[in-house]
Structure 1
Amino acid sequence: MQFKNTLEFAQSLDKHDALKGYRQKFNYPQVNGKDVIYFTGNSLGLQPKIATDYVDDVMKDWAQLAVEGHFYAEKPWWDYHERLAKPLAKVVGAKPEEVSVMNTLTVNLHFLLVSFYRPNKKRFKILCEEKAFPSDQYLLQSQVRFHGLDPKDAIVEVKKRDGEHFWRTEDVLAKIDEVGDELALVLIGGVNYYNGQVFEMEKITAAGKKAGAFVGWDLAHAVGNVALHLHDWNVDFAAWCSYKYMNSGPGNASGIFVNEKYLNTKAIPRFEGWWGNKKETRFLMEPEFDPIATADAWQVSNPPVLSLAPYLASLQLFEEVGMDALLNKQKTLTAYLEFILNEVDKQVESTFEIITPEARGCQLSVFLHGEGRAIFDYLMEEGVITDWREPNVIRLAPTPFYCSYEDMFRFGEILKRGLQR
């Protein structure tokens, strides 16, 4: 497609956008009396309007039924979480029994590493990307120390090449080969939070498995953003938050994936609680744990229904649209944003660099050479909600559910004015 940097062209793209009606299904903050241009769905997705209805239903059931809501609500609470498994499985490329929802992201990764990081004298090293999201770094360091090991010895980071802003798959694979039979675990962010790069998860998973290691993925920036096929890729486990591209609300519940080969067994080590026990015997209060035959066996407590309600609401929208349609729009929308950025760069003295490689979702990270935080502050004052990362990177995530092509054009005009100041 031959893009044009005009309002008319952007509006024509919106007119033919099959998803244009979904923009009206979300609530927008306002600045100066106008809806914002929202680029931070990679941090917190906008609120689906139907989320209020789903939460209100739970509140009404609580008021009218009290404890009986566990069994007699329209959506009974005791199996509320099960309603999320099927639509989530479509988003992550899994079987419904391989998916569950519980806790929050880093908590779930800690729980999963009880099962999938089992170091011994020979095989004890963890491979991750350089400068992973801080929570992942803290997670891995604390797990290693918990097992009596030194992070300097046990954690192996794959670095970017000098002068480059992205990781090369061949370097990841080479590092896996180098660590060899000392490798116990590969755990990488499927989409890097800083530069927006999508790792080649299938290839890396295959290499890690060939080396004899478990392979897991932190999919915080990937779920709802890129195509995933966790089951077909033979991934061992994964976890993700739900409040970014999944639009479930601040700090909301996390999803997990556990490959079916590890299901329906008592043999695998894990932290256990009564909500992971089979439903048929849960209320018999028996002393021995009898795991559910699905990923729900990793649950330890009853689900936070008020948190799951807006997540279920958002998943209804994903069910209606389907990932293929979202990804098709995402590709064009992100390409149009990149075009607009390049057009602005031609018209101003300041220069900037898109550091996100071609392997991307909907995030573009822009290195503003010679610019400081003042440009970010200006954008925010003008109603462009974006994200600033030191030293001078702004992250832009044109989420296909609620961002328009006109948003991209208008952002370019605002950015140009800000740089010309």
Structure 2
Amino acid sequence: MSPSRIDTVNESAAFEFPDNANTLEYAQSQDTKDSLRHLRSEYIIPSKANLKSKKLAKPGLSDDEGIYFCGNSLGLQPKAMSRYIEAQLDTWSSIGVQGHFTDVEDSPLSPWQDMAKSAAKSMARLVGALPEEVAAMNTLTINLHLLMASFYRPSGRRTKILLEWKAFPSDHYAIESQIRWHGLDPEENMILLEPDEDHEISTKRILRAIDDNADEIALVMLPGIQYYTGQFFDIETITSYAQSKGLTIGWDLAHAAGNVPVRLHDWNVDFAVWCTYKYMNAGPGSIAGAFVHERHGKVDLDGNSVPKFRPRLSGWYGGDQESRFKMDNKFRPIPGAGGFQCSNPSAIDLSALCASMSVFDKTSIDALRQKSLRLTCYLEHLLDQVQEDSSGKPSFRIITPRDAKRRGTQLSVLLQSGLLPQVAAALQDAGIICDKREPGVIRVAPVPMYNTYEDVWRFVEVFAAALR
């Protein structure tokens, strides 16, 4: 059985905009034509009054919706969330422990024992994997540690890990501590990839680094999308090249899962991890995802029924479900990523993830990508018009790749020194939520699930006025 194929998405076509593209009427006309516009109603859009309130309040203090461009940090709450969580609480309160195995009528949820598998099946569609290659478990950094414990096996000269220079701190700390755990010095065993002058780390540079250090690399560990610049790495090419040198490669898809189409199975990726609170909208600190290619998840039995499997840090929940409650202390892991689970996952967390996945199940990552390309290119076009209208030294520049196929839905805007406080304040005052990174970057993420062309247009209007 092969995973659902991801249809070819036309990412190379240049988007041309008419002369009236910088008008509100044009933006609204594009929203009218948007085939995914109905998905916005699946989410709770914070009002401007809510965004400014310091009190715990129900959503909808006013009908004047804010603009939320921060899905790359925390996605908006699906309206289904409360129904799914209430269903879990009602199951717990009404039948207690039987909730693990009982298929409750009129509930949107599977029995607790099956919820992780249901969530994994939906996530597998988003990351191009077989259902059994995906597990819903833990948090991203914990999953990174668990999989590195299995896949980072330094020996002989091969002791080093290749990573990017500006890895997200949790990844950097995890890699650093794994190296120390093996009694090695991080200063000597971390190969940091630095960007070119345009803030990108080109595929050519990555392949050259692999060539230069192949005899000493034990693991290549890279982000699918770089969190600061929004660069989308060429996962397929880099994975293939690393493996041609006999190397193991893992990917952190925190900013890629639910954002861009990936084909983890077809691209032969060894392992990957991701969170679900960004583009997957499952809530702050929500349960994370992990991918282990089927070739690494095999469980073989010899004549004595002693299982052979890839070494890992094992826990009871990774054991075969048929024998999980025999309590005989004979560990036989579930084939696939499920065998890397340790503890039983929180039913509350899984309920939240299933609620979010119920919206993704109504569309496809291809459809989302098509809208994302158009929406982000529209943002880029309007920002370019602001630059053309300015006089003197440009007040900002976009450091995300201009080639649409090498980025996700995020554009990172680097402001001239000293402008960040006034721009951030103006956006906040207008009820526009973006992520800022000191000393001068605003990360703008128009998410296709719930953002509109009009959102983009209004953001640029406020942004341009703040610069003036």
Q: TM-score, normalised by structure 2?
A: 0.88
Mapped to 2, the partners of 1:144 and 1:261 lie a distance apart of 25
8 Å CA contact 1:375, 1:418 repeated in 2: yes
Equivalences for residues 234-253 of structure 1 within 5 A: 234-253=268-287
Aligned to 1:386: 434
SS in 2 for 1:216: strand
Q: Does 1:353 align with 2:387?
A: no
Q: What is the one-letter code of the residue matched to 1:385?
A: I
Deviations 1:251-307 (A, max 9, x none): 000100000001132331111111111111111001121111121101111111101
Mapped to 1, the partners of 2:195 and 2:152 lie a distance apart of 25
Equivalences for residues 7-156 of structure 1 within 5 A: 7-32=24-49, 33=62, 34-74=64-104, 75-156=110-191
Equivalences for residues 257-296 of structure 1 within 5 A: 257-265=291-299, 266-296=308-338
> What is the count of residue pairs matched by the alignment?
419
Mapped to 1, the partners of 2:390 and 2:81 lie a distance apart of 42
Equivalences for residues 306-317 of structure 1 within 5 A: 306-317=348-359
SS in 1 for 2:174: helix
8 Å CA contact 1:276, 1:291 repeated in 2: yes
8 Å CA contact 2:258, 2:279 repeated in 1: yes
Aligned to 2:346: 304
Mapped to 1, the partners of 2:282 and 2:139 lie a distance apart of 12
Q: What is the one-letter code of the residue matched to 2:296?
A: Y
Deviations 1:119-172 (A, max 9, x none): 0122111101111111111011100000000011111011112x3211111010
Q: Structure 2 unaligned runs (5+)? A: 1-15, 50-61, 105-109, 300-307
Q: Structure 1 unaligned runs (5+)? A: none
Deviations 1:297-326 (A, max 9, x none): 011111111011121111121111111110
8 Å CA contact 1:209, 1:215 repeated in 2: yes
Mapped to 2, the partners of 1:196 and 1:168 lie a distance apart of 13
Off by >4 Å, runs of 4+ in structure 1: none
Aligned to 1:403: 451
More helix by share: 1
Q: What is the one-letter code of the residue matched to 2:343?
A: S
Deviations 1:38-82 (A, max 9, x none): 110000000000111111100000110111111114221112111
Mapped to 2, the partners of 1:232 and 1:373 lie a distance apart of 45
Q: Does 1:338 align with 2:380?
A: yes
SS in 1 for 2:154: coil
Q: What is the one-letter code of the residue matched to 1:326?
A: L
Mapped to 1, the partners of 2:422 and 2:466 lie a distance apart of 9
Which is further off, 98-107 or 2-11? Answer: 2-11
Question: Which of 236, 242, 246 is the aligned partner of 1:212?
Answer: 246
Mapped to 1, the partners of 2:344 and 2:309 lie a distance apart of 23
Mapped to 1, the partners of 2:434 and 2:420 lie a distance apart of 14
Question: Which of 368, 388, 404 is the aligned partner of 1:326?
Answer: 368
SS in 2 for 1:81: helix
SS in 2 for 1:107: helix
Q: What is the one-letter code of the residue matched to 2:277?
A: Y
Q: What is the one-letter code of the residue matched to 1:256?
A: A
Aligned to 2:10: none
Q: Does 1:373 align with 2:421?
A: yes
Mapped to 2, the partners of 1:203 and 1:158 lie a distance apart of 17
Mapped to 1, the partners of 2:214 and 2:129 lie a distance apart of 29
The CA deviation at 1:30 is 1.7
